[in-house]
Amino acid sequence: MANSFSDSSDSDTPTSIHDSASTHDNGHGDVLIEDSGAGANNPSPGQRFTRLLRVAGPTTVIMVLILLSMIFIGIIEPYLAIADYKNIASGPRRSAPTIQWLFGTDNLGRSVFARVLEGIRLTFLLSVTAVVAAGIVGSFIGMAAAWYRGIFDTFIARMADVLFAFPSLIFGLIISAIIGPGSFAAIVAIFFIVLPTMVRVVRGAAIGVVNRDFVVAAQISGASTARILFKHIFPNVASVTVVQTAYLLSIGMIIESSLSFLGLGVQPPASSLGALLREGSAFLNIAPWMVLAPGAVLTLAIFCVNYVGDAARSIIEPAQPRPLE
Amino acid sequence: MLFIAARLGLAALTIAGVATLVFFGMRLIPGSYADLFFPLASEADREAISIEYGLDGSALEQYILWLGKLLQGDFGTSLVTNKPVIDEIVQRLPLTLELGFLALMIIAFIGFPMGIISGMFHKKWTSQVGRHSSTFLMSIPNFVLGSLLVYAFSVNSLGLKAGGWAPLSEGLMENLKYAILPAFTLSITGLGLVLATARSSVLGVIGQDHILAAVSRGLSPKDIFSKHIFRNALIPVITIFAIVAGYLLGGTVLVETVFSLDGVGRLLVNSITRRDYPVVQIGVILTATAFVLTNTIADILYGIIDPRVTEKNDG
């Protein structure tokens, strides 16, 4: 019952082919037509997977692979045999990139390649932690606001307005000053900066669901509020939450690296990509690789996250005619 | 009218919320002003310092006092330089405003048309280029682009200056030499965002039945574009443009750091580390006011362009 809304929403909106091709192109101009009879013939997991690959398109698959390998390298990085990123004078000072030192070495002779790998790890770790936490807390608050409405809803909306209007980087800097610079401060800052977006999006999606028949039916049959929120409303806003989490992840990575770049995020010897850029910028003219390598990797990582987020949106929320609001 | 009044009321409420948040946020930072600047001062001296700078009493008392002065137009005095806060900010405002203005121009005259073109020719390669370049532009953190530009232009300057500043009083050309790189850096995220919005908005309109109807009535492509597509596509772009405009003032922090410019963003960052409460408070309130006002104006404009909006009271 609870899923009737999300299941039917794909097929009961008539989509003109022209429209679906234009609003949700999948990267190579193909027309995306969702299988409307998805419920009728249950495809095996294998079939589902190949269909997913076909819908996503080759570029998305490549992006997902890059992203996964970055995360994978981030996870196994501490166990790799590459020179320890903390190892001072493991190589010559400020050596330009060579075969042995892929991204060159820094002013203390540390391998920039090893430091960049460590940086990816921290950058992902901090932003994923903060954004997932914000996703969970945000969907809870958003659903509750949509359910209770009234004063609670108004209060939440005004709080979100205030957090939105607060210049986000300055907010992060104040947080960092309050709890002391470091990884934890970065997580807290990202959490509060992305939270209002999450709350608004989930609230908006939940408001469309709270008055639907199956929710009313659940209420009449005596289901508790918690049960209604999680069993009936959450499945219908889950896709919005997932898509939004992907978007906010890239924002989280930008905030984390910005804070670290200003010296108030991750503290040495730990190094996120932003912290590496900060250190490198002092040597920009004599050892540009200290800036260019982490900068390029950071941009690539954020690009992959954004790209995969876009793809996830067009797969999870398939082509629908865009109403003129 | 009621719609506009309600919007302005909400805007005032939001700014009041920001003022409260920044005040108590600053007070939560451990270590008092006296600890930081007069670490050797005696207990009695600290007391005197606190009283002199209005830092005695509980946070709540200070807040009420500060708010009262603020409403009378007294913005306070910098704890570090002893100059009025408003002077400190006004002195640096032209640089930050100019950067923001130039960035908006870049976004409006490059990002917007690129998005429209990429949306109009959606079957061609232009569309894919538009799609990927917008994602790419949004993915470059502006301090990364800034560092790259500083490096690239230090190798070959092409007559432009990456770092430092010449005020407008030294002539427009001289000023632009310094301003163009930081302004471009500042514009990058907004450029991608406006490009993407304009593109998807045009794509959304093209698929509508009324465009098909216009085509079958035999309207010229030029008329269809200017009367049907452009106007409808403009609405979401205005909203995004306002959001971007609001963010630009807060976004200058990193750009000013990378290009070593003495603007409002830098002032705010330095003031946080120096515990210069009055400067941070006023700076944050001004930035937030700019953000809230641009959004409110966009809301009102939105209502004028699309009268249906004002009739709905709840989004």
Q: What is the pLDDT of residue A191?
A: 94
Q: How confident is the model at residue A4 (pLDDT cuts 50, 70, 90)?
A: very low
Chain B nearest-CA residue for A28:
B128
Q: What is the pLDDT of residue A199?
A: 92
Q: Per the CB < 8 Å rule, is B136 touching A303?
A: yes
Predicted TM-score of the model (pTM): 0.81
Q: How confident is the model at residue A2 (pLDDT cuts 50, 70, 90)?
A: very low
Q: What is the pLDDT of residue A221?
A: 84
Q: Per the CB < 8 Å rule, is A169 touching B122?
A: no
Rounded to the nearest angstrom, the minimum Cα separation between A320 and chain B is 10
Q: Per the CB < 8 Å rule, is B257 touching A262?
A: yes
Rounded to the nearest angstrom, the minimum Cα separation between A153 and chain B is 12
* 8 Å CB contact between B216 and A35: no
Return the structure tokens found at B43.
């207990």
- Hey, of B36, B116, B139, which one would you mutate to test binding to chain A, going by the most A CBs within 10 A of its CB? B139
- Hey, of B96, B143, B155, B287, which one would you mutate to test binding to chain A, going by the most A CBs within 10 A of its CB? B143
- For B42-57, what is the mean pLDDT? 69
Specify the higher pLDDT residue, B294 or B302: B294
User: In angstroms, how far is CA B171 from the centroid of its own chain?
Assistant: 26
Residues of chain A neighbouring B31 (CB-CB closer than 8 A): none
CA A268 vs CA A88, A177, A261, A276, A291: distances in Å: 13, 17, 12, 9, 16
Quick one: A237 exposed, middle or buried, by C-beta within 10 A (0-12, 13-18, 19+)? Answer: buried
* 8 Å CB contact between B211 and A16: no
Q: Per the CB < 8 Å rule, is A277 touching B143?
A: yes
- For A243-269, what is the mean pLDDT? 86
Q: Which CATH architecture has domain A58-319?
A: Orthogonal Bundle (1.10)
CA A58 vs CA A30, A31, A202, A274, A311: distances in Å: 12, 15, 31, 31, 11
CATH topology of domain B2-17+89-275+288-314: MetI-like fold (1.10.3720)
CA A252 vs CA A77, A94, A159, A186, A247: distances in Å: 22, 31, 20, 9, 9
- List the single range of A55-59, B77-81, B139-143 with lowest mean pLDDT: A55-59
List pLDDT tens digits, range B9-48: 888 999 999 999 998 888 888 766 666 666 666 777 777 7
Indicate the domain borders of chain B: 2-17+89-275+288-314
Indicate the domain borders of chain A: 58-319
Residues of chain A neighbouring B143 (CB-CB closer than 8 A): 257-258, 261, 274, 277
CA-nearest of B140, B151, B142 to B182 is B142
Q: What is the ipTM of this complex?
A: 0.84
Specify the higher pLDDT residue, A107 or B58: B58
